[in-house]
Amino acid sequence: MNLSTPIRKVYQSVADRRQMFRLFDRHAQRPDRWRNDDSALFAGEWFEIARPEHDYMLDILPPLWMRAGMFAMREFLTDSVTSIFFALTIDGRIRYFHGYCDLFERGSPERMRDTIVERESWPVRAMTHQERLEHIWSSTHDDYRGYAGERWQPEHRGKRTVLVYGLGRTELKLLDDLTDEEIAAKLPVHLRHLPVRAAA
């Protein structure tokens, strides 16, 4: 993983088992799937899970390795990116997380662990603008999201798109071009009014 690749939270609730498996490949509709090096799509993504999902994944196969509070899956998603599962004490309680780390980058699991702890220790519940977009992408059904294709301008092809409803019509828009009102409409009610925090 390139050091400039951001470590990013991609889902704002605790994922149940169905959602966890869906988030494992939230880029399933990407163009030319598996024909390119997809490491950059996945490396750095993380989300919270519950203990039963953490323990279930630990029992599937013997882990590649185990360290204090984390283990790596033996099966790799790409050449060097694999799932890392974390059990972290945050504010006095153990919470569980999944993240994709590029093991070619020395220290990437520890860097992700530290980022998760820092992010989840914010004193006030808030979301960054990018976290809002990532949550929308993660929670939108595959039928209502995709990637810009041939009918888009060349500079937009391959970018993520979502279906937006408004004023009696639907429109396919680039995820990054959603207005604040469209973002709010797509977020669940309990996330809609959280303050926007500037990215660190």
Which DSSP helix (H) or strand (E) runs through 47?
strand 45-49
In degrees, rounded to 5, the angle at the alpha carbon of residue 47 between the alpha carbons of residues 53 and 200 is: 155
> Minimal CA–CA distance to 190: which of 127, 144, 106, 113?
127
The per-residue pLDDT for 33 is: 65
Identify whether the C-beta of residue 104 lies closer than 8 Å to the C-beta of residue 43.
no
Q: What's the pLDDT tens digit per position in 71-126? A: 999 888 878 899 999 999 999 999 999 999 998 888 999 999 999 999 999 877 88
The per-residue pLDDT for 124 is: 78
Instruction: Return the HEC string of 65-115.
Output: EEECCEEEEEEECCCCEEEEEEEEEECCEEEEEEEEEECCCCCHHHHHHHH
The per-residue pLDDT for 191 is: 79
The per-residue pLDDT for 36 is: 67
The per-residue pLDDT for 28 is: 78
Distance of CA 46 to the CA centre of its chain: 5
The per-residue pLDDT for 126 is: 83
The per-residue pLDDT for 116 is: 95
The per-residue pLDDT for 14 is: 94
The per-residue pLDDT for 52 is: 96
The per-residue pLDDT for 49 is: 97
Residues, the chain: 200
Segments of the chain with pLDDT less than 50? 1-2
The per-residue pLDDT for 78 is: 79
The whole-angstrom separation of Cα 137 and Cα 183 is 11
Which DSSP helix (H) or strand (E) runs through 135?
helix 129-139
**Amino acid (1-letter code) at residue 113:** R
